[in-house]
Amino acid sequence: MNMDPTLENETLTAPAPDGPLDIEKIRMDFPALHQKIYGKPLVYLDNAATTQKPSWVLNVIQTYYVCSNANVHRGLHFLSERATHTYEYARSKAQRFLNAADSAEIIFVRGTTEAINLVAHSYGRTFLKPGDEIILTAIEHHSNIVPWQLAAEASGAKIRVIPVNDKGELILEEYERILSERTKVVAVGHVSNALGTINPVHRIIEMAHRFGAVTLVDGAQAAPHMDVDVQELNCDFYAFSGHKLYGPTGIGILYGKRELLEKMPPYQGGGEMIREVGFDRTTYADLPHKFEAGTPHIAGSVALGAAIDYVKHLGLGKIAAYEHALLHEATEKVSEISGLRIVGTASEKSAILSFVMEGVHPHDIGTIVDREGIAIRVGHHCAQPAMKRFGLPATARASFSFYNTPEEIDRLVAGLRKVKEVFAL
């Protein structure tokens, strides 16, 4: 792609492509895909854990450190002013990406985990009290469970859980049953990282708001794969991670409605988040800086802005359609393997395929296909309650991106057949 990685104008200069995605051309943007593992071409199917990075993003990181490395908001010299401009420009990109009403509603964090901890600590521990209830789902990532457990322990609140059916879909009748005036927070994943289930978050939020509850959506698995409009969802908080969106690790976004963020105390103290400091009293900076103590991950923020440019350039609608086609093809082909069972068969799914094979531990599946150059994830996927719900210690998980191909699905199927050969199944 014809891109200009300079920080003066760090946006894509090439026109958006017409027609379907040109996958072979896209793959040329990702250097990591063009390597061999154990002498075989890499098939990278661990995208739910983290995605590979396009050259566009890598170049922006390098250009920042070469041309604009300075601290933000604190200097009058040219480099500091340029760094500040690019940092805040990245914030405005995230605002437009989520369709937030105001850039002050966009907080830079280390990732989804820190975003949820921020809300659980700052909002939860401030406003929850004994007898209040927090509603989660049975298929949450640990990052959307443990922070709320800590908030509940600190406040005396209780946690309630929305169960799932055998397909991995939330049982909304049970959600309706446990909702009450005691419900103060509803925190739900937009997409399950363990099963691929796309949860009906719009309806969940609407139902929660009837009782005056605050809602948080863990969007780590959704933001890279579909259009997200926080105003249309009417969620109170939304979080996602840069490294799953083709950006760097250690950076992410927390969106929060201004009226809620204004009421919340700072999550951390230090430089940057203050207005005036004295030993008798400290006053805090305005949003969003109240929640961004210390020197931020400036290069990561700028690179996240570049990653947002990249996926918007391709078109999230096209990305979603292509990845859905990959999931459909992969589901059909692996289902032909005897003894393989897919875990998570919701009618609405993202491009995540979890499965088990009779007579084979998932760790053995992962090890054998790795020797074939195929990277998948095995384990409980930081979703142990979900695994327990299905009576499993772990699954194998293949997760797809727009840079994956039907030929790579065939490689996966061949690798899984190799597993059967090794175990004489």
DSSP for 314-353, written as a single string? H-HHHHHHHHHHHHHHHHHHHTTSTTEEEE---SSB-SEE
| Confidence at residue 395, expressed as pLDDT on a 0 to 100 scale | 98
Which residues are 135's β-sheet partners? 160, 186
The encoded tokens of residue 74 equal 């604190």
On the question of pLDDT at 181 being above 90, the answer is: yes
Band of residue 342 on the pLDDT scale cut at 50, 70, 90:
very high
Do the beta carbons of residue 295 and residue 289 sit within 8 Å?
Answer: no
Identify the residue whose tokens are 């290069």: 299
Tokens of 364: 């053995």
**Which pLDDT value is given to residue 391?**
97
- Cβ 98 vs Cβ 238: under 8 Å: yes
> What is the tens place of the pLDDT at every residue in 23-67?
999 999 999 999 999 999 999 999 999 999 999 999 999 999 999
Here the tokens at position 47 are 């995208």
Assigned fold of 316-422? Aspartate Aminotransferase, domain 1 (3.90.1150)
How many angstroms separate the CA atoms of 251 and 109, rounded?
6
Active site positions, annotated: 382
Q: Evaluate if pTM is beyond 0.85.
A: yes
- Section 229-251 average pLDDT: 98
Q: For residue 4, is pLDDT > 90?
A: no
For position 21, what pLDDT does the model report? 95
Structure tokens belonging to residue 336: 């032909």
Residue environment code for 184-200, b if the CB has 16+ CB neighbours within 10 A, otherwise e: bbbbbbbbbbbbbbbbb
SS3 assignment for 370-424: HCCCEECEEECCCCHHHHHHCCCCCEEEEECCCCCCHHHHHHHHHHHHHHHHHCC
pLDDT of residue 12: 55
pLDDT of residue 16: 61
Rounded to 5 degrees, what are φ and ψ at 202?
Answer: -60, -45
- The confidence score (pLDDT) of residue 14 equals 52
Q: Are 183 and 215 in contact (CB under 8 A)?
A: no
How are beta strands 352-357 and 340-343 bridged, if at all? antiparallel
State residue 11's pLDDT score. 52
384, with CB counted inside 10 A (0-12, 13-18, 19+), is middle
Ranges 2-11, 54-63, 195-204: which has the least confidence: 2-11
> 387: Cβ–Cβ under 8 A, 6 or more apart, which residues?
194, 380, 381, 393, 394, 395
Tokens of 198: 């796309």
Distance CA 318, CA 338 (A): 33
User: What is the topology classification, in CATH, of domain 64-312?
Assistant: Aspartate Aminotransferase; domain 2 (3.40.640)
Confidence of residue 126 (pLDDT cuts 50, 70, 90): very high
Q: Phi, psi at residue 126, to the nearest 5°?
A: -85, -40
Both tokens of residue 204?
Answer: 């969940």
312 has pLDDT over 70: yes
List the domain boundaries for the chain.
64-312, 316-422
Q: Is 279 helix (H, G, I), strand (E, B) or coil?
A: coil
CA distance 192 to 189: 6
Question: Residue 167 has which token pair?
Answer: 């397909």
Q: Which long-range contacts (CB under 8 A, 24 or more apart) does 79-87 make?
A: 82/7, 82/8, 83/298, 86/7, 86/10, 86/298, 86/302, 86/305, 87/296, 87/298, 87/301, 87/302
Report the pLDDT value the prediction gives residue 156, as an integer from 0 to 100.
97
